[in-house]
Amino acid sequence: MKSSSLIASRSLVRSGNGIGAGLLRRAVLRQLANLRHGLLLVHEGSEVLHFGTPQSSQRAEIRVNDPAVWGLVAGNGSIGAGEAYIHGYWSTPDLTAVVRIFVANLDVLDAMESGLARLGRPLIQGLHWLNRNTRQGSRRNIAAHYDLGNDLFEQFLDPTMMYSAAMFLRGDDSLQQAQLNKLQRICEKLALQPSDHLLEIGTGWGSMAIYAASQYGCRVTTTTLSREQYAYTERRIREQGLEDRVTLLLEDYRDLEGQYDKLVSIEMIEAVGHRFLPTYFEQCARLLKPEGLMLLQAITIRDQRYEQARQSVDFIQRYIFPGGALPSMHKMLEVISRHTDLNLHHMEDFGLHYARTLRLWRENLSQARQRLEQLGYDDYFYRLWEFYLCYCEGGFLERTIGTAQLLLAKPGARPLPQYVQPSTLAWTNN
């Protein structure tokens, strides 16, 4: 069975049932008492504890199924809370709502990461350091997530197989249509022409490359480090008869050569790592012709939280994306201005669209639960991914993280003005 790495740790977290269980419980409850935004209800046996503001419209509730939860949360903060959820030590009818409560109370969340949780941080940070994105490390990190199996991703992604924020231009847009909207918007911003040679860093499952080549007639060179994605994309290119238009590479972006008219990179920068941001942007600038354009789609963290995030390790880095690192808008622009000749021409943030995208992925995952079991993905794995998707959805809804498209231009480029009518962007804030 394909399971999470948390199973092996199950025997290590039973300390919450021991002699210190009461102390650990009280320590966590003291932190919860500081909640000011939203209302959190904690059900434990016949007892119901209330934390936060009773009049708040933002409510969430959890049920404690096993007292081991207190030891995990007290000893490892938010990572421990995620581990406890995956083990089934607590449950909730609305996981995203729980995440939103804690994201809305960042002071409480930060406090939970201190205290006893600080004792385990050196080990976690050491393990994360081993995942740094050297050439060898990048291949290993990419494989750890994207090579879990194409059959897994087929279960919750739409037919485009896009694994990035969609753009919902109308309220009734399906996930597939929203992903096509995003691809069209990218191509329009890049002003793609049949004569262009487009470089894509981060192939995914090939949708961007195939869309650009088939809809705009340009040549595309695209690269990935995932062998699973490479095999999948190679088959799609062959089936659509695009071998003469699309060149597929299995190469690190640092090893690319040549000069290209346009460059696109969709949510790949999160796998670059803080240390290698200058290397990444320097290489992008070097690969572009003097009049070239680059479209970067990036998941960003709030500027004010960047330094703290850079020095810490969260649940996503620990269990989902080893080596992952979210840049902030300020950090990216600082690196771009200091290390390249690229200029920011246009920026569009559509983080709420990512929240909706994640919700639809989660619904698809839930509907495919039985099929996932047949494919060998067990209950632990399912809860791990459920927590991951809700964790991210809550972050986008509370604006702690965002999604941006940056149109970057070389000095010789003369891109047309970009106009976006906010009224045409449909999202939900629920």
**10 Å Cβ neighbour count for 290?**
10
Q: Is the Cα dihedral 329, 111, 89, 18 positive or negative? A: positive
| Pairing label, strands 197-201, 219-223 | parallel
Which residue type does 15 have?
A: S
Let me know if 415 is exposed, middle or buried by CB neighbors in 10 A (0-12, 13-18, 19+).
Answer: middle
Beta strands in 30-162 (DSSP E): 39-44, 47-52, 59-64, 90-91
Q: 15 by DSSP, 3-state: which? A: helix
Q: Is the Cα dihedral 296, 148, 78, 273 positive or negative? A: negative
- Decide if 284 is catalytic: no
User: Residue 251 and residue 134: Cα distance in Å, rounded?
Assistant: 13
Query: Treating both helix axes as pointing N-terminal to C-terminal, what angle do 207-216 and 175-189 enclose, rounded to 10 degrees?
Result: 60
Q: For every residue of 142-179, which 3-state class applies, written as one string? A: HHHHHCCCHHHHHHHCCCCCCCCCCCCCCCCCCHHHHH
CB 295 within 8 A of CB 190: yes
**10 Å Cβ neighbour count for 139?**
17
Q: 122 by DSSP, 3-state: which? A: helix
Q: Of 187, 218, 284, 392, which residue is the catalytic one?
A: 392
Catalytically annotated residues: 392
